[in-house]
Amino acid sequence: MRPPRRPLLALVVLSVALLTACSEQEEAAEEAVVVSVRVEPVQRRALQAWVYGQGTARAVQREFLTFADAGRVEWLDPQLRLGSSVARGKLIAYQEPARSRAGLANAEAALITARSEIAQAQAAEREARATLELARVTLERYRTLIAQNSASQQEFDRAEAEFAQAQAAQARARAQTRSAQARVGSADAEIAQARLVVGDSRIVSPINGVISRLNIEQGRYFTPQTVQTTSEASALRTVPVVVIDPSAFEIRVDLPSYAYRQLAIGSRVMIGAGERPTGNAAENGNGDAAASSSLPGGPPMPVGDYRIAGTVHAISPALDPESRTFEVIIRTLGRAPQLQDGEFVATWIAQPTRQPALTVPLNALRTRNNRSFVFVVDRQRNIAVEREVRLGVQSEGRQAVLSGLREGDMVVTAGRARLSNGVAVRILGQPQPAAAQRPKR
């Protein structure tokens, strides 16, 4: 009697099932390492390089207005508030005017008296001059007569004495005229001083602008000693009035010494406002970016309404001996830029345009051990190939590549996190080659 075959057959069926399952798992594993990516071609472009910096925006015209003497604030324009517009010559406030106006009135009265005295002195001088002329003519006549023995010596001596007296009288009249003129000059100086005192008791806007600080109140006593000038912040808190012209701003930026030859007066500047720039302005330049970015040129440039145009107004030829930085002064272009006086801003100063170079999108770049690389898709084998690259300047979303790539290479811009050298890839949005498609079992 033959043994039954069913256990052996069941074992064979089970083995085949296990082999099929393993094959399917291996095939699924192979399918799992195919990474979907997006790519962009390496393109040749002329990038604009930028030097990054930070600074504080200040109105080009800023007027700190104060009283010269202590006194009570008699009047403050009730229509004025912070941000109020004022025209040049606008009276903003004044101190109690009685004493200063009394001094001006006394000086003006003294001037009137001095002018009256000079008129009298000039009249006396004219009279003395006429008397002297008459005495001279009389003396000459007696000189002729005595030569002709027609007059006595006594008459001649009397005429000569009268001539000498007329000369002395004219000299006295001239002296009185000069003295009266001096008193007029002194009265004019007193009036000018009195008017200065009156002016110092008034605060008048010297420019067309807006009020940015208003630190006085009507009826309060003010003394110049309360104004602190040890720092700008202290002055802004204690000076009675600050008026600025908000139509033009200036930014002073400290840059590292190696950026000096990369800039020129008149260079284009983009100013980023409404942001929070990073901390070390002196360490930021076209090579060492701010803390939030490892790319040359600093953090990404602002867009939309926060991009304000400017130009390099001045460049210091000297380095600070401690920080080894130099100062660049930037002026805004156009009217009424969207800036606040005292606002901390980021700046990007344009360098001269360079020759076209190979460039890649910034999102294609990766870094390992301080070395930059990209993944290039090998279209023959449909795999990702790691390429080390040497980088150049960066501008507005792209970076120049000095070596490691060729024009037309397809670099991976999305899906990089799962990539490694030699991993199979699937390019999204493009048909796959037949060699890359797996036959179905």
- pLDDT for residue 289: 34
* CB distance 312 to 336 below 8 Å: no
Helix (H, G, I), strand (E, B) or coil at 64: strand
Rg (CA), the chain: 46
Residue 217 burial by Cβ neighbours in a 10 Å radius (0-12, 13-18, 19+): exposed
Question: Is-contact 124 104, C-beta < 8 A?
Answer: no
> HSE-up of 186 (CA within 13 Å, CB side)?
11
| Parallel/antiparallel/unpaired status of strands 91-95 and 71-76 | antiparallel
pTM: 0.58
Fold: same for 50-58+252-350 and 66-97+202-244: no
| Nearest Cα to Cα of residue 135 among 108, 163, 154 | 163
Residue (of 396, 400, 391) closest to 300 by Cα position: 396
Domain ranges across the chain? 33-47+356-436, 50-58+252-350, 66-97+202-244, 99-200
- Sequence-separated (6 or more) residues with CB below 8 Å from residue 193: 107
Best CA proximity match to 380, nearest among 435, 298, 308, 317: 435
pLDDT tens by residue, the chain, 441 residues: 455 555 555 555 555 555 555 555 555 444 557 888 899 999 998 888 888 999 999 999 999 999 888 888 888 999 999 999 999 999 999 886 655 555 656 767 777 777 777 788 788 878 888 888 888 888 888 788 878 887 788 877 887 888 888 888 888 878 888 887 787 777 777 766 655 555 567 889 999 999 999 999 999 999 989 999 899 899 999 999 999 999 999 999 999 998 999 899 999 998 987 655 444 433 333 333 333 333 345 566 654 445 789 999 999 999 999 999 999 999 999 876 788 999 999 999 988 777 888 999 988 999 888 899 999 999 888 899 999 999 987 777 888 899 999 998 999 998 767 788 889 988 887 655 544 444 444
Contact 374, 364 (CB under 8 A): yes
The CATH class of the 50-58+252-350 domain is mainly beta
Per-residue pLDDT at 78: 93
Cα–Cα distance, 297 to 267 (Å, whole number): 15
- Whether the CB-CB separation of 142 and 115 falls below 8 Å is answered with no
**Domain 33-47+356-436 adopts which CATH fold?**
2.40.420
Report phi then psi at 330, rounded to 5: -115, 135
Which residue in this structure is represented by tokens 């302005």? 281
- Rounded to an integer, what distance in angstroms lies between the CA atom of residue 399 and that of residue 298? 13
Q: What is the CATH number of domain 66-97+202-244?
A: 2.40.50.100
The set of residues, in sequence order, having a beta carbon less than 8 Å from that of 152 and lying 6+ positions away, is 146
Regarding beta strands 425-427 and 35-41, do their DSSP bridges make them parallel or antiparallel, or are they unpaired?
A: parallel
Q: What was the pLDDT predicted at 2? A: 53
Closest CA to 365 of 406, 319, 411, 330: 411
